[in-house]
Chains A and B, each alone.
Chain A
């Protein structure tokens, strides 16, 4: 089955540590996105990528980093510089290619907690 897989589902991190969240898709999509969601809040865009080896900062990129070395993978690293990393992280992908009318498909999310 095609889809987006995020792992792990739950992640605990000690303060001061970097942690990497995995996002893999087998939908052959060009565009991929990372969002952060705080309790009862909307989705805020962290980073997005329209094509392999290229990505852009979203609205809240500080303290995060990404890579896009393969079309199917878009890992997110939460660095120690991120002051309040506890949140629900969602990865999404869409066909891309400049198409406006294609919806984004989402993974199941990773819930990160700093302990």
Chain B
């Protein structure tokens, strides 16, 4: 079964608009961490934001915020005031497991295109 599901293969947004990228996850662990990464066409992976399962407040990092709904097992990324440079693949990821065997698994990704 998919641990991380990103249901939007592609998104097209006008510059300066806000955009929400969806991510749902599946785990039976109480302790887990959720991450978002950006992958430009160059292939590098850029860490954007983190949310812990016990964090009561939604994480924010500059223009990025994470809409964490624990009961629904969703961790959507919100990018405010989008810019042309935001065009990239975006991946949601989850770290789970016991101390000695923690996995970090990724979703299929969403390709975001910002139009001028």
**Min CB gap A66→B, angstroms:** 15
Interface flags for A88-103 (1: CB within 8 Å of B; 0: not) read 1010101011101101
Residues of B within 8 A of A (CB): 6, 31-33, 35, 43-45, 47, 50, 52-53, 91, 93, 95, 98-109, 111
Contact status of A103 and B105, CB under 8 A, knowing A42-B91, A98-B99: no
Measured between beta carbons, the chain B residues less than 8 angstroms from A51 are: 100
Task: Bin chain A's interface residue count.
Answer: 20 to 34
Measured between beta carbons, the chain B residues less than 8 angstroms from A92 are: 45, 104
Residues of A within 8 A of B (CB): 31, 33, 35, 40-45, 48, 50-51, 56, 58-59, 88, 90, 92, 94, 96-98, 100-101, 103-106, 108-109
25 cross-chain CB contacts under 8 A: A33-B104, A35-B106, A40-B111, A41-B108, A42-B6, A42-B107, A42-B108, A42-B109, A45-B103, A45-B106, A50-B101, A51-B100, A56-B101, A56-B103, A58-B103, A92-B104, A96-B102, A98-B99, A100-B31, A101-B33, A103-B50, A104-B35, A105-B47, A106-B45, A108-B43
